[in-house]
Amino acid sequence: MRRHLFVLLFIGLALALVVLVSRHDAGTVGDLSTDDFAALVYQLALVVFIGAGVLAMFRDRFSQAFETALLWVVIALALLLAYTYRFELDDIGDRVLAELVPGRASSRGRAVEIARGNTGDFQIATQVNGARVAMMLDTGASAVVLTNDAAKAAGLPIDMVKYTVPVETANGRTMAAAVTLDRLAVGSIVERSVPALIAQPGQLRRSLLGMSFLNRLDGWEVRGDKLVMRGYP
């Protein structure tokens, strides 16, 4: 029986190889790409080899061998499904984390979604020059505004900046320093050379994601409890 099984496996692999060679230029086998078809054939062959090995080990205990082989088949199919839908699973995990972690962006291509925080504001996890900076969406702010500590974390030369730009805050009128951010990223959206301001020490509790970033987007809107931002392709 084992001999017949290996003969059938060899014939099946030979036929699969013929199909792959004949469909190489077309790039597809049915609805599958040639790469996906080759991966499927490899995984099925692996399942058969494992099953044959198990049967050989437990040939005197067929029921136990059958259950073990069936378990391996189920595991192999689960791995195959996980590989086939790996991008969908990543997207689901990303969305779940975005709901659980305030400010975390859920990205789909050049579109980003952020859930509203418990305080009613949109807290946004950004990266400024590679440093993680938590910001709050503020459409009333004409520019991105960084706290002094956030500017330090982003590697900006705060000892050399001059606070010469008048700004209005909740505490009244004050002065801020104008800078240009090399890179500002929210999820998959990345903008470069973004004009921004640095607040003086103690003048701002949280960095603000203002219009100097939002105006660069292809579009943005609030849908219920979700902030949706779309970057240009």
CB 161 within 8 Å of CB 155: no
CB 143 within 8 Å of CB 91: no
Element (H, E) at 147: none
Confidence band, pLDDT 50/70/90 cuts, at residue 98: very low
Instruction: Indicate whether this model's pTM tops 0.75.
Output: no
CB 163 within 8 Å of CB 176: yes
What does the pLDDT average to over 174-198? 94
CB 6 within 8 Å of CB 53: no
CA 178 centroid distance within chain: 32
Structure-model confidence comparison of residues 217 and 72, the more confident one: 217
CB 54 within 8 Å of CB 65: yes
Q: Are strands 32-33 and 226-230 parallel, antiparallel or unpaired?
A: unpaired
Could you report the per-residue pLDDT of 2-51, keeping only the tens digit for each?
Answer: 455 555 655 666 666 666 556 555 556 555 565 666 666 666 666 666 66
Confidence band, pLDDT 50/70/90 cuts, at residue 132: very high
Could you report the per-residue pLDDT of 45-95, keeping only the tens digit for each?
Answer: 666 666 666 666 655 565 665 566 666 666 666 665 555 555 544 454 455
